A and B are shown apart, each in its own frame.
Chain A
């Protein structure tokens, strides 16, 4: 059974204080690892897909990296508007695109 574990559960940062969010996974044949952002009362919003170990992707203050067992979402000099829940999910190889999600990491950035 595919499993995703995210840590820490919650993270409070001061504006400008860089940090990393962890996602550990086990999957029977990884097709892709996905990061989503979810704001309160809204649906998940796609951020990145990573397909193979060593791959990195960046978007503004966010950078996602992937190894064979885990992924990190690095947040550089965060701003209050980065406050949200960050979800990690894996997609197994095969014809089905369904995602298996972790519980998410709630990030709060104080001004």
Chain B
């Protein structure tokens, strides 16, 4: 009866490296949302995915960031050539399949530090 699982919980990268964050949704959930939380800022929506489809990526930076949710396996948020400004907590949330109006269940987050 696990909730939303995120890993790694903490990740340290040097500028220019790549960061990969993984999210396994709750059992029975097929919709995944990624959020970023900067210090002293609220949670900012990044992307909404269903299996093999990106539904809404209106919050994703245009460069260096990508997300996928393959048919098998976890959702991946990928940040290429990281910069110090990417240091933040990244949260994944999931919801059951429906036409909207669902409660999002959040994971514990992945905290990225860029040196």
| Residues of chain A having any CB pair with chain B under 8 Å | 4, 31-32, 34, 36, 41-46, 49, 87, 89, 91, 93-104
Contact = CB atoms under 8 A, between A and B. Distances in A.
Interface string B75-115: 00000000000000001000100111111111111000000
Contact of B109 (A43, A87, A101, A102): A43
Nearest to A88: B42
B91 A44 contact: yes
A46 B103 contact: yes
A34 B35 CA distance: 16
B55 interface: yes
Contacts, number: 64
Contact of A43 (B42, B91, B99, B103): B91
B43 A101 contact: yes
Nearest to B98: A97
A13 B9 CA distance: 32
B31 interface: yes
B48 A34 contact: no
Given A31-B100, A98-B48, 6 more contacts: A94-B100, A96-B48, A97-B31, A97-B104, A99-B45, A101-B43
A75 B55 CA distance: 37
A90 B35 CA distance: 15
A42 B103 CA distance: 18
14 contacts: A34-B103, A34-B104, A44-B106, A46-B103, A87-B43, A93-B100, A94-B100, A95-B100, A96-B56, A97-B33, A97-B95, A101-B42, A101-B44, A103-B42
